[in-house]
Structure 1
Amino acid sequence: MAHTVAEIAAALGTTWEGDGDLAITRASEPATAGPDALALAMKPDYADGLAQGRARAAVLWPGADWRALGLEAAILAPRPRMALAGITRLMDPWHPMAPGVHPSAVIDPSATLAEDVSVGPFVVIGAHASIGAGSRIQAHASIGDGATLGPDCLIREGARVCHHVRLGARVILHPGAVIGSDGFSYVTPETSGVEEIRRSLGQRSVTPPQHWERIHSLGSVTLGDDVEVGANSTIDRGTIRDTTVGAGTRIDNLVMLGHNVQVGRDCLLCSQVGIAGSTRVGDRVVLAGQVGVNDNIFIGDDVIAAGATKIYSNAPAGRVLMGAPAMKMEAHLEAYKALRRLPRLLRRLEAADAARQKPVSNPADSD
């Protein structure tokens, strides 16, 4: 679908110069852009690529001389990545599906489908499930008994919404996501080895053989409006109360949320984050890739944790964390610098020790 330069600028809420009627069919990197492409040269560093490509129009930084760059039109973006979000949204068809139910879908007669719902091939929708208006459920996805989907949800291929899970409006589940599997919760009749070492901080006595009894999951999962869950991520249902994720939170691929976890609004959880059971996470928290969070702790609002950080205890609001175990970023950087100096310090200590142990010669011996 073609858009004019003027239409794109209007959609972005920004200004354009030159030929506003120029037709654009796609976005492109500057060096590979053709005449119908909008080149994304959003910083001066990318300007050289325009000479290699054939773009007639580009997204440029404020104040750029688009005529000198050989362009016929330009869109000026004061915040380039925000402009990129708008451009990709405008040009992405975003999994269109015609309303209706594919003949191969299996839908329980007691399920309720609102207006304009799209159901793809081999979808299964369980008893008393409710699907909101305009929702799209793609091939091989399943919706469990009693599950509720708000309006305009997108459930992609092979995603699983388990029984009695509740999704808000405009929730997106990417392929393979599983929402509402049972929590990983077990107990032994006697004190377990795990309980013992938690209490003793490492000291362990001889224990008899142990048998793990399942604690069943009676709670469910509730996702707020505009939550997005990445491919092959899993969110376990709660033991008694629901596991919850607040509105606007974005969850990457391969993320694991344990039972009873509560995540606030507008959080960003990157790939391979794992949050253990019953932990509470505040609003606007950012956990970078491979961050691990212990069970039964609290992470305050606006915490940011760098990649591979391991959070073992409560984190106050606004704290920036790094390392394993997690510490303030500035403290971690100082400790890391000290760690890198250790080999040199050890060599100095060894040299000083060798000098101290060397016998002192007596001047009289030389006569």
Structure 2
Amino acid sequence: MNFPTLGQLAQRVGGEVQGLTSLPIHGVAALHKAGANDITFAADEKHLRLVSTSAAGACLLPRNYRGDKTAGITTNLVFVDDPQDACLTLAREFRPQQPPQTVGLSAAAHIAPTARIGQNTQIYPGVFIDEHVEIGDGCVLYPGVFVGHHSRIGNHCTLYPHVVLYPDVHVGNRVILHASAVLGADGFGYRFRNGRFDKIPQLGWVEVEDDCEIGASTTIDRGMLGPTIIGEGTKLDNLVMIGHNCELGKHNAFASQVGLAGSVTTGDYVRCAGQVGVADHVHLGRGCTLGAKAGIHKSIPDGDTQIGYPARPEQEQLKIVMATARLPEMRKTLRDLESRVEEIDSLIEQLTTQGSSS
């Protein structure tokens, strides 16, 4: 097999080589796992320190690192504008993604006669498409996908195995739904009357705007009356739960196990780390960031960073955490002070008694 040289790869990403341009490169690997014929990358000074100890044959670095910052590094280096982007570009060459198999509209799928399917869409065996469904051009629906009646899917969407769209789910263009995602299930709505929970009909729908990606086993409930909305470009990790009537802004990013209760709204560019929990009817302001396991009970201002339970502004919470860590020491100090106060009180009492006697 003919492998590309380091010089050839550098040309493809607009890089400048410092080292052996003729080195054959066999693949792309992480900095700590790369071998003598692998290329890797380091995007910041923290990872730059690891380059000298890496076995990598070559490393992509920011262009402005050339000079003093890389003095003494013997690894072959390639200086580029964006090391991570360049590394991903090269990774695609070594590991090209296989296009989906061309199956057309499989005879082993159920496609209702009133459904409308766009051009070049692949419907795999075992897919169920209900009445009055609309699916755009260039979509791929893998085995086990269910699409309920009156749902709409835009162009160039991918639905991986066992994705479920309940009726009246509207999906935009270029949306990716990973395996076992469920969109449009009933919201968790009940009224407690006469000693029992009576179900509130969930008559709304779900809207997923363009360029969203929904992780495996993530659930998005339909609204009670209106829509639950996932804004354009939003990315939801695996096992995220979005309650009924939530409205997410554009380009939000939620890590795994984030849970939003009903009617939560968010601005654009909101980020939630893993296991964040948000109470109902709370608003998360534009550009705010919530740390892992944060418990949100009230609205968050634009641009704020909050952590902990209950969530507080980051610096305030860190002070509380630091103080909490000192509690055993402070408890001992308090006991010592109490003992000293008791001694002083006893001494004062003795002096008072002696003064009265004289």
Q: Output the TM-score relative to the length of structure 2.
A: 0.84
Is 1:175 matched with 2:179? yes
Among 79, 101, 107, which residue is 1:103 paired with? 107
Tell me which residue corresponds to 1:137.
141
User: Is 2:43 the partner of 1:38?
Assistant: no
Q: Which amino acid in structure 1 is aligned with residue 146 of structure 2?
A: S
Q: 1:9 to 1:231 in 2, by over 3 A?
A: farther
Distance apart, 1:321 and its partner CA: 0.6
2:166 to 162, 167, 181: 162
Please state if 1:80 is matched with 2:86: no
Asked if residue 15 in structure 1 is aligned to residue 15 in structure 2, the reply is: yes
The farther-off stretch of 275-284 and 37-46 is 37-46
Q: Which consecutive residues of structure 1, in runs of 5 or more, have no partner in the other structure? A: 190-208
Counterpart AA for 1:348: T
Would the aligned equivalents of 1:121 and 1:139 in 2 still touch at CA under 8 Å?
A: yes
Contact 1:29 1:41 in 2 (8 A): no
Q: Does residue 146 in structure 1 map to residue 146 in structure 2?
A: no
Q: Which residue of 2 aligns with 1:203?
A: none
The aligned runs of 1:341-360 (5 Å cut-off) are: 341-358=326-343, 359-360=346-347
Q: Is the 8 A contact 1:25 1:36 kept in 2?
A: yes
3-state DSSP class of the match of 2:196?
Answer: coil
The total of aligned residue pairs comes to 339
- TM-score, length-scaled by structure 1: 0.82
Q: Is 1:268 the equivalent of 2:269?
A: no
Report the 3-state secondary structure (helix = DSSP H, G, I; strand = E; otherwise coil) of the residue aligned with 2:326: helix
- Measured against aligned partners, the alpha-carbon deviations of 1:288-316 in whole angstroms (never above 9, x if no partner) come to 11111110121110111111111101111
Counterpart position of 2:286 = 301
Residue in 2 that maps onto 1:193: none
Secondary structure at the aligned position of 2:207 is classed as: strand
Q: Is the 8 A contact 1:174 1:230 kept in 2?
A: yes
Deviation, 1:338, is 1.7
Instruction: Give the secondary structure class of the aligned counterpart of 1:101.
Output: coil
Q: What is the CA-CA distance between 1:352 and the residue it aligns to? A: 1.7
| Range 258-267 or range 85-94, more displaced | 85-94
Unpaired runs of at least 5, structure 2: none
Secondary structure of 1:188 counterpart: strand
Q: Which range moved further: 149-158 or 35-44? A: 35-44
State the alpha-carbon separation in 1 of the partners of residues 167 and 88 from structure 2. Answer: 34
Question: How far is 1:344 from its partner?
Answer: 1.9
Distance (whole Å) between structure 2 residues aligned to residue 223 and residue 280 of structure 1 = 15
Partner of 1:194: none
Alignment of 1:290 with 2:275, yes or no, is: yes
Q: Residues 89 and 237 from structure 1, CA distance in 2 versus in 1: closer, same or farther, beyond 3 angstroms?
A: farther
Q: 2:28 aligns to what?
A: 27
Distance (whole Å) between structure 2 residues aligned to residue 346 and residue 31 of structure 1: 45
- Which residue among 290, 311, 323 is the counterpart of 1:338? 323
**1:322-351 Cα deviation digits (max 9, x unpaired):** 111111111111111222222222212211
> Equivalent residue of 1:45, what SS?
helix
Indicate the larger mover: 75-84 or 253-262: 75-84
Select which of 256, 262, 269 maps to 2:241.
256
* 3-state SS of paired residue (2:204): coil
The letter for the 1-side match of 2:302 is A
> Which digits, 9 at most, give the CA deviation of each residue in 1:254-284, with x for residues without a partner?
1000000000001111111001001111100
Please, which moves more after superposition, 152-161 or 35-44?
A: 35-44
Matched AA of 1:255: V
Q: Percent identity?
A: 30
Structure 1 residue 77 displacement after superposition:
3.3
